[in-house]
Amino acid sequence: MPPGETPPGEDSTGSETGPRDLPTRGWAKGPAIILGIVVVLCAAFFIAYAVIMAR
């Protein structure tokens, strides 16, 4: 490159552009099952509480 000229900029595209891994979709089965159990237990507690208080 002759003196006084501006050197070219870096390449804007490299060999590793974009995400490295494909993102997973949805929830894993384990956390979804645990969350479902917690929701059912909470609902059962409040239903039992309402039944006992209604007597």
Q: Could you tell me the pLDDT band of residue 55, with boundaries at 50, 70 and 90? A: confident
Phi-psi map region of 18: left, alpha, beta (phi>0 left; psi -120 to 50 alpha):
left
Residue 1 pLDDT exceeds 70: no
Q: What is the pLDDT of residue 39?
A: 98
Cα–Cα distance between 25 and 27 in angstroms, integer? Answer: 7
Report field, pTM of the whole predicted structure over 0.85: no
- Could you tell me the two tokens for 21? 């891994």
Residues whose CB is less than 8 angstroms from the CB of residue 7 and which lie 6 or more positions away in sequence, other chains included: 1
Could you tell me the two tokens for 9? 């900029």
Give the pLDDT confidence of 21-51 residue by residue, as tens digits. 776 777 789 999 999 999 999 999 999 999 9
**Whole-number pLDDT of residue 46:** 97
Residue 3 structure tokens: 């003196």
Q: What's the pLDDT score for residue 41?
A: 98
